Amino acid sequence: MSKVNWSFYDDNGFTRIINVNGTMTGLGASMAVKEAINAAAEIMPHFVNMHELQQKASLVIQDLTGAEAGFIAASASAGISMSIAACITKTNVGLIEKLPQIDGQKNRVAVQMGHLCNYGASIEQAITLTGAEVSIIGQSTQVLDHQLEFAIEDGVIAALYVVSHHVVEYGQIPLKRFCEISHQANIPVIVDAASEYDLEKFLNDGADIVIYSGHKFLSGPTSGIVAGNKQLVKAAYMQNWGIARGMKIGKESIYGVMAALTAWKTRDHKAIRQQEKAALTLWLKACNGIKGIEATLNPDVTHNPLDRLKIQVDAAALGASAGAIALALSSYEPKIIARDHEVELGYIQLDPCNLDHGHAEIVSEALTNIFKQAHKGNLNEPNITDTRNAAIHAYLNWASD
């Protein structure tokens, strides 16, 4: 087994963590590539004209996405708010200064009900921070063309489309059709594609602005990338004069993401997929033949080029629930954070895209040990209420005595 270097954690008093959850903000998103780390360190001792830096970032974004223009925001969430604000104000500085007060302005944003997700905060709040209102389209599991067409007639200034594993996976208007309907009424379409791998698809499908995370698959510093129509992107960038001042991004993050984007072009994606496949094969072997466990490889639901291991648990046969397995992994040494946001459906998933040397082997060993303990009836069952509210409890317990 490869020896893991835990010195960073031990020297700084941090809990040792292995992330098999995915590119999650609550865990620090991803392991930054060396190019991004070096670029961030390089620029930090120097002064730079921030508009000039963002202009250079735009050139890199254009090259990678095919957009007319782009800039780096503090986060994908900030990019959503800035893009919505742009559709309200355009480049009118007076209106930019006035937001979120928009008396007399059209301010409704059309969103399919199944896309009103929580990504660590409410997508609705990212909209209403600008002073805009949400115009909900359809029902959670069915949205029809005429419902979007009708909504657009009611003071809508933008249509937001969310691509995420958090949204409803069926019954929604596909993006191309969503853009067709919106554009027939001259309504711009903004796509939240924060955790998506394909940097060209959504603009090619008709979106006017697409927002990506710079710190998830791209493995750069915390940031968002806003790319698309030049005039709308410029209006979004100008929100830094208004509501986005509190969302400002530093030079080190901009320069770091520029480096991460450039590195993306030459990254050996095939070799990374092979490393992920090796980890999945190892974990699958640890699950095979275990009574009460059915393990399968599942493709990413938004079509990113990666698989995850789905571990379906028959609680009666195993002697423990899927929630108990997730809890045991998170109580292991080192702590192993699994993908458990659908644990009430009886399964967890293991994501291989954020592993360091030796991590895959530790996870395999942990699974074997935990399954043995489950068969002996030695695992603790989680309190489902606590599990469901764990994210907010982490905030409530912060800095508590």
Instruction: For 193-206, write each residue's pLDDT tens digit.
Output: 988 888 999 999 99
**In 3-state terms, the chain is what percent helix, strand and coil (to 5)?**
45, 15, 40
Buried b (16+ CB within 10 A) or exposed e, 244-256: beebebbbbbbbb
pLDDT score of 401: 65
CATH architecture assigned to 7-28+268-395: Alpha-Beta Complex (3.90)
Would you say 292 and 80 are in contact if contact means Cβ atoms under 8 Å apart?
no
- Of the given ranges (74-83, 303-312, 386-395), which has the lowest mean pLDDT? 386-395
Is the pLDDT score of 348 beyond 80? yes
Name the band, by pLDDT with cuts 50, 70 and 90, for residue 268: confident
- The mean per-residue pLDDT over the stretch 219-234 comes to 95
Name the band, by pLDDT with cuts 50, 70 and 90, for residue 40: very high
Is the pLDDT score of 2 beyond 70? no
Is the pLDDT score of 298 beyond 90? no
Is the pLDDT score of 63 beyond 60? yes
Percentage of residues in the chain with pLDDT exceeding 90?
64
pLDDT score of 27: 77
- The mean per-residue pLDDT over the stretch 299-317 comes to 88
* CATH fold of the domain at 34-266: Aspartate Aminotransferase; domain 2 (3.40.640)
Alpha helices in 200-337 (DSSP H): 201-204, 230-237, 251-266, 269-287, 315-318, 322-330
- The mean per-residue pLDDT over the stretch 268-275 comes to 88
Instruction: For 113-138, write each residue's pLDDT tens digit.
Output: 888 887 878 889 999 999 999 999 99
Residue partners of 319: CB distance under 8 A and separation at least 6: 292, 374, 375, 376, 377, 379
Is the pLDDT score of 1 beyond 50? no
- The mean per-residue pLDDT over the stretch 210-215 comes to 92
Entry field: residues in the chain: 401
Kindly report, as residue ranges, where domains of CATH 3.40.640.10 are found in the chain: 34-266
- The pLDDT mean for the chain works out to 90
Kindly report, as residue ranges, where domains of CATH 3.90.1150.180 are found in the chain: 7-28+268-395
Residue 146 DSSP SS3: helix
The partner residues of 20 in beta bridges, in order of sequence, read 338
